[in-house]
Chains A and B, each alone.
Chain A
Amino acid sequence: MILDQFDYIAPETLEEVVQSIKDNESELMVGDQSLVGMLKKGNIHPKSVVSLRKVPSLNLISEEGETLIIGPTTPYSELIQSSAVNRYTTLAEALHSISDPHLLHHSTIGGAFYYEGDIHTRVAAALVATDAELSVLGPEGERQMKAASFFEGGGISHLLSGEIIRCIKVINMPFQSSTYQYVSYLNSGKIICGAAVLLKKSGNTIDLIRIVLSGCTSGPIRLRTLEADLAGKEIEQKIINNSLDRLDHEALDLRSELISNKAYLRHLVKVLITRAIMKL
């Protein structure tokens, strides 16, 4: 039961969508069940809900050269079955960590940007790690934005009035291998700590590494200091541990509703990053 009343519109064109969200104190429904959860809990009180379900062009997976293009209302269940998406290992592994079919069908990649919540943090981390880019359409036209900038800039509040995410673009990064490692709380599927890691190495030496945390942070966080520290290091447990020990000094605001001790989260971060590097 939702206690607040609101208007609902489902425009049929992108232009109408832009017009609708410009005029109202609205929430965008990108085909994602998280919004309903927020409405039920009374976390948001929109005057109107604008649904994208009638704009078919927003549900797509396509490839343009080296770029994978995903529409915001594309559900995870379609992404997980796409051979194109499965070539992006970090994103694929993040998606494969979801097994509840309802969540797969009713969570969309747009939801990863529009709504908070456990289900999306893994995908958000994968997208930030792979330097995904957003095409944002608004009254003033279209602009491009890095997923990383989107989250670092405060998420949805980063969008201007009337702007919507038209698509998400994922490109092949100059890394040889990648993975998404995570710990889910009591095997419930809720991630309390996750790390998207991309690696390029020569022999047993790290050339380049990208590390993005999620689940234990308020949004996807890239560990740039650690990345720099690990670059050029040999892949050896002790050496990696030494670098990870320096994480203690990095200003990381680790948090989880389900874990009371931040030190345990910090421990998990180290475990997952090590696992990722050793695996790759």
Chain B
Amino acid sequence: MALNNKINGREYSAEVEPRLLLVDFLRDYIGLTGTKVGCNSGSCGVCTVLVGGKTTKSCQILAIETEGLEITTIEGLAQSGELHPIQAAFWENFAVQNGFSSPGTIMSVVELLQNNPDPTEKEIKDWLRGNLTRETGYEQVVKATKAAAAKLAGQTSSPNGKASNGTLIGESVKTRNTQKLVTGEGKFIADMELPGMLHAAILQSPHGHAIIKSIDITEAENMPGVVRVFTSKDTEQIMPMPVIWIPPFAESHFLPHPSGIVPGSHTVFAKDRVRFVGDQLAAVVAETRQQAYDALTTIKVAYEPLPVVLDAEEAIREGAPQLHETVPNNLMIHTIFGDKEATKNAIEGSEMVVEQKIYNQRMMHNTLEVRGVLAQHDPATDQYTLWTNTQIPYPHRLLISLYVLGIPYNKLRVIVPFMGESNGCKGNLYPDTPLVLWMAKELGKPIKWVDTRAGFARNTAQSRDQIQYAKIAGTKEGKIMALNCLAYSNAGAYPVINAPGQPLALIGRSITGAYVIPNACYEVNVVYTNKVPSAPMRGSGRAEAIFLIERMIELFAREIGMDSAEVRRMNMVPNDQFPFENGLGWTYDSGNYTKALDIALEKSGYANLFALKEEAKKRGKLLGMGIGSYVAVAGVGNSGKMGGEGLMSGTWGSAYIHVAPSGEVAITTGAQPHGQSQDTTFAQIAAQELQIPMDYITIQHSDTDHPISYGQASYGSRSLSVEGVAVQKACKKIIQKAKEYAAYAFKMPIDLIEYKEGKVIGTPAPDQAVMTLQQAALMLWFGWDLPEGMDPALEATVYFDPKNFNFPFGTHIAMVEIDQETYEVNLVKYVAVDDFGVVVNPEVVSGQTYGNIALGIGQALAEEAKYSPETGQVITDDLDSYHIARANWLPHIELYRTETPSPSNPLGVKGVGDVSNPPVAPAIVNAICDALAEYGVNHIDMPVTPEKIWQVLQDKTVALSY
């Protein structure tokens, strides 16, 4: 059908199918890829545009229905190269992290401010209820919206972000590359195209466990546009996914891998049997994405369903359905951290013992951007190129070439385009990725595969899902003597590369939290089930551990009749005990735990809790406050220690620095940014160290062809304290070389050469013996006259492997009100006091903290992956059934920081990215249980929904209003 409309002021005519959605028209026909696809059900809002000036989710409207209408997309906002005031405000107020949700949110704000030039915080949050962001935590979005309103009203506001020329660590320098994100120019994986590119769609199983009887692809092969249909018959030479975390100290059972070096996991296609609903059965490659998915529906698979097992505790019982021939009783790993016998004895000898079963529910990462791959093979050079939205490009290069496809490492290049949030799920290698690369070679054409929301729900790792039987014991005066946890971790159907490590050290060595607990033990069974494989998620491991200890300390305090804040204070690691061995394997580096607790208590008004409760009761609300104190291990390496834990990889940081003859500095980092702003913060570090303007410095990453040997990537809050320190070390190294060259050139001893303000200076004659870094770089580039043994070029490659991890800490306090009639939970106040050591860019750090808090709120109150108990199918396969935190759930979040430098690295920094997630969920659940304390409610498993609260009170036969 003919479609004529006006987009961003320009007339367009096109021939379209009636079923074409507006979002696909804008992206695929007009090339306006600033409008994103997220949930595809009108829930997340990343596809928001204005149609006739009205906020419209373009995935929920037929393109043909816009005939004759005027459409504005994010690309239409900036005029003559000038950002729209809303775009500028989002940038200046740090409302943009990975930027995937930014265009849609900005478009919604455009209409809001047209209708309401001076909205209140509540009005903004209500309006943005349909624009989700998984990473910003909304706080800076609200702030940016208010700032934009002021700009549009002609008021001059002082922006938070400084121009990108600040040089000092500790400044909130405006983030780099953000202009491309607020204008929609930045290309994410789904936005990329190559000439002659084909599209792939992948068939998943509707059964969680079944024998594959037959697959009939005849009809699909004859569908319009279909180039080829692949099944397991075609891919026998492709090896299974590798597993690279094998704990040396534990009993473990993995799957075979033909390399003989590492164990295996799932294959690119399931052959005889599917073990979870994300197992892949076939792939269609066609000329268009629509044709590929059309053909996918015609593939006929005959299954013989098998019984499913979804619960980790049930899976290791006698008689449970067995998943793998090589794994008796579905047990992947069994191990113990700490002294089991001593802990048992300490519990038996204690005055007070409290027990609780806790289920830390299965979470879905549900990034708004799904995963995707674009792959190309050049037969002339045998060069493979893979573009994908992964946290780990170098491991992709290594694992795919060495363990999956058996192709030369040097012939594979991995590139990461602009990338949406990961929350950890993009830190794995999935079978779809090498499959697409292999198919591209087979067909001799580039192939793109971009997942659907429903597909993502089934093939992409999920997380948490641990049953914990906990015991805490101590004296009646509040001294904790012992903590024991027997855990069952649900690993899903297959071990995903490094995922087996997550329920081990990250939980096992962390369960004592911020406290001195003389006897502690964590015994874990990591178990295969027919669920989607599990892997780390933001807060990984520490979240399960901190939830455990913070709930148990709360229950213990209640049992002995003491204020839980006091119990925390008396058991926290004292300031003079650092470095502190926690008895489970971590050495806490530095801290002032009670100070953070005290600030949080003061800022939250904890002392007035009783009065607040009384006042709330008069309004029909049950009020409660909850504390979550934490210590979270961060800064992975050290490599030796990680090897000892079982990780088959180094974890050092790396950086390559080059000062060009022009004076421009290019630094390649081993980090892999996905919203954390390393482009900015690493440039701040380098600018401070080199004492030159930030604008001279470029930070390179996201391409394995950049000049470092290997990048260990970004995960587990390691980037700054490992890769960032490598950047600092690289700067020091080229300063040293410049000084050595200057000493030779000036004919002075090196001791008399000073580096200051971007210059090497011979101190005896500072006016004559002086050379800028650029001049030094030029002379070293000429290489005409160098000291004996000195190589040309002002460049350096450095590695940094910290001797210890670092341990950020803090205390969060949540205040909730529960409606006494409907049991709806309202989070009314949230105070976070965190210590991340030295902070490079405070607003960037705040942004990540808000994101951690939003995720924790989601876990506490709403999020849970649900499965059909009969088929093992994932029921929560969209953002209407899986509920993530919306803008209107959050009160104003109050952030405070203390700053205790880490001795683990020369910058004194600690991890930030995911460490402040662990205290959130326990703070909120503790607050809910506090609100319900008078009814004898000790614990409710997450997510704590109104229905669950009602049920618990019913079970206690408490008669409230009805």
Contact = CB atoms under 8 A, between A and B. Distances in A.
A99 B19 contact: no
Interface in A80-106: 99-103, 105-106
A271 interface: yes
A8 B18 contact: yes
B888 interface: yes
B829 interface: no
Given A1-B452, A188-B886, A264-B950, A106 B18 contact: no
Nearest to A48: B18
A33 B294 contact: no
Contact of A102 (B18, B48, B65): B48
A248 to B, nearest CB: 11
B60 A33 contact: yes
A49 B290 CA distance: 19
A40 B20 CA distance: 11
A2 B883 CA distance: 24
Interface residues of A, number: 46
Contact of A188 (B45, B826, B883): B883
A128 to B, nearest CB: 23
Interface in A100-150: 100-103, 105-106
Nearest to A7: B18
B54 interface: yes
Contact of A101 (B127, B821, B862): B127
Interface string B45-73: 10010000011110011101101000000
A7 B64 CA distance: 11
A43 interface: no
A4 B127 contact: no
Interface in B422-462: 452
B822 interface: yes
Contacts of B881: 257
Contacts of A259: 947
A113 to B, nearest CB: 19
Contacts of A263: 954
Say what secondary structure dominates the interface of chain A: mixed
Contacts of A49: 18, 62
B112 A101 contact: yes
A51 interface: yes
B951 A102 contact: no
B293 A183 contact: no
Given A37-B60, A106-B61, A101 B950 contact: no
B41 interface: yes
Given A10-B67, A183-B824, A187-B889, A101 B108 contact: yes
Contacts of A7: 18
A1 B824 CA distance: 36
B947 A8 contact: no
B962 interface: yes
B21 interface: yes
Contacts of A101: 54-55, 108, 111-112, 127, 130
B17 interface: yes
Of the listed residues B290, B452, B880, the one surrounded by the most CB atoms of chain A closer than 10 A to its CB is B880
B289 A1 contact: yes
B795 interface: no
A102 B130 contact: yes
A199 B789 CA distance: 96
A202 interface: no
A162 interface: no
Contacts of A183: 822, 824, 946
A101 B945 CA distance: 26
A204 interface: no
Nearest to A75: B54
Given A3-B293, A106-B60, A187-B824, A267 B950 contact: yes
Contacts of B60: 33, 36-37, 102, 106
Interface in B816-834: 821-822, 824, 826
A195 to B, nearest CB: 12
A1 to B, nearest CB: 6
A102 B57 contact: yes
A93 B883 CA distance: 25
27 contacts: A1-B40, A5-B17, A6-B19, A7-B18, A8-B1, A10-B67, A33-B42, A36-B61, A37-B41, A40-B40, A99-B126, A99-B127, A99-B129, A100-B130, A101-B127, A102-B48, A102-B60, A106-B60, A106-B61, A186-B862, A186-B889, A186-B945, A187-B826, A187-B888, A264-B950, A268-B822, A271-B961
Given A6-B19, A36-B62, A241-B962, 15 more contacts: A1-B289, A7-B18, A8-B1, A8-B62, A29-B62, A31-B65, A99-B129, A102-B60, A102-B130, A183-B822, A189-B130, A190-B880, A261-B950, A267-B962, A271-B821
